[in-house]
Every structure is written in structure tokens, then in C-alpha cells.
Amino acid sequence: MKPLRIGTRSSALALWQAHWVQNALSEIGLTSELVTIHSSGDTNLVQPLYEIGVVGVFTKELDQALLQNEVDLCVHSMKDVPTQLPAGIVTGFVPERGHAGDVFVFQNKDWKRLPQRTIATSSLRRQAQWLFAYKNDHVVPLRGNIQTRIDKIKANNWDGAIFAQAGLERLSTNPTIYTPIDWMIPAPAQGAIMVTTRAEETKLLEKIKPLSHLPTQGCVQAERDFLRALQGGCSAPIGAHANVQNNRISFVGSVTATDGSRHIEIRESYDRQDPDIGKQAAEVLVRNGGEQVLDKLKRHD
């Protein structure tokens, strides 16, 4: 059998994730090789993602390579994947996720005592939630791979920047430079890896299916259903996190005005087998004032 071709972006984090998948495949007897593909999200590092306005800015080129049979599998950070996969592409497996939360990478150990800070992030969700918590702070855009972003904090003398904890941990970034932001609600499916393939690859799908971690798969599905029900894209200021507790799913969801002026948050509990968790949670959020925030966001698009 020819080795499976794994499509991946070329950043250090993407390659770490692709190598991890490669190891998982080898454990079930499947050999593979990596094929690096440049995505438009990695090429344009000036504009914030929400300004680029392309659906699947980090996944589009990988999807094309998959559909054109140039690769057999693609590895994605799941939070970058649109909730609607292209026709002909399906989920192969979702391994156990890493930390779902966000962390603050700081320049100054006394950052909490500063009356006003300059914080870097190109995520509307992180910007919105941070400004809700710290009204006087100033947020500047920050793009690039993890090391580039860390270097930019120092070069610009900013007080800090917000990152996904899983990414820093996967690249063994020095944990003394960051602190968890316990109150920040992460992006739907943050910390999870998603492996996709063509729908027609039924034999391959059957082989790789056991590599899925079912609790993770159920949680990220609920989070993505929540995002989809709210008609929010990957860059919308919508947060969601689900986790399994005693055969129930504990779900927290949020939407925040980009200037931090309003933040609507819900906390619900559902039966783990319920197929409509995300949809129901979205309805609760809308009823609790989320609709006004979402309407305002859509008018500003």
C-alpha cells in the first residue's frame, strides 16, 4: 500500500499536529507522509482575519488539495474549520483535545497593576471579552505564527497578547511567560484537532474511525452546532465550551460586543445523548439578550 498523503499547513504548530496524526496512524498500521500546503490565511499576515472575509481562510487550499486527490487526509485546528464542510469532504476522526482555554502572554509581571495596558490579538472574540473585563485597555491587531507573535510583543513593547493554551503547550513554549485566563470563554472547538478525508474513502474511514475520542467529538460537535445556529463564522466574537460531567454535558456559551460594551453568557446542562445541545444552547442565548448583540454585529459586518 502506498503511504497516505497528509495535507498540512506549514506553520510549526500545524506540523506538530500533522506529526501527531502521523504517529496515531502508524499505531494502527498505516504509513503516511506529510504534504505541506500554503493557505491564504498564512500568506496575508497584515489584515486581521475578520477583515479578510474569506470562509475557511486556513482550510480552503487544503480542501481543494483533498478534492483534487493530491492528498488523502487533511489535519486542521478544528476552531479554524467552517461549521459546514465542503461537499465531498467528511470528518475522519477527532482525537482527544488539549486545553481548550486561552492564556495571556505577558511582558511585564506587574501587568495587573497597570491602569491601562496595550494588548495584542486579532481575534474579535478575545478582543471583545478582554475589553468587557478591562474597559480602559487598548487592543492592537497581531497576526503570524506563535513564535512570530511572541517576538512581536517584545519588539513593540506591548504589555501582552492572548493565545490558545493548547498551541503554546504543543510547541513547548516556556510556561513562565503566560498565565491562564480562566474567565475567558474559548472559541468553539478550540484545542481540538480535526482530520478530514473524502466522503468516498469508505475503507479508510472505517480504519481511522477508532482514533476518535468520543467525549471530545460530542463536546466539539455541540460547540460547533451552537456557532452554526447563531450564524457566526470562525471569526465571530462567540465563545463556547462543553465538557462531560457524570454523563451530562455542561455547556457555557457567550456572545460579546466587539467594543466590550455587552457580554451575554449562558451556562446550561444537557443529557450527553441529546443530539441538539448546541441548537438548544443557542436558543437560550438568543432569549437572554444575545439577539440584540448578534443583530448589532451583523449590521457592522
Residues acting as catalytic residues: 80
Nine cell digits for residue 107: 511582558
Which amino acid is it at 58? F
Q: For the residues of 236-294, what is the DSSP string, one character each? A: SSEEEEEEEETTEEEEEEEEE-TTSS-EEEEEEEEETT-TTHHHHHHHHHIIIIIHHHH
**Helix residue spans in 177-213 (DSSP H):** 202-208
185: closest CA among 244, 255, 120? Answer: 255
For 123, what's the count of Cα atoms within 13 Å in the CB-facing half-sphere? Answer: 23
297: closest CA among 253, 207, 235, 249? Answer: 235
Question: Three-class SS of residue 168?
Answer: helix
Pairing verdict, β 138-140 and 263-271? unpaired
Nine cell digits for residue 56: 475557511
Residue count of the chain: 301
Q: Which own/partner pairs from 144-152 qualify as long-range (CB within 8 Å, at least 24 positions apart)? A: 144/45, 145/11, 145/12, 145/13, 145/42, 146/11, 146/12, 146/13, 146/171, 146/173, 147/12, 147/171, 148/45, 149/120, 150/105, 150/177, 152/120
Burial class (CB in 10 A: 0-12, 13-18, 19+), 27: exposed
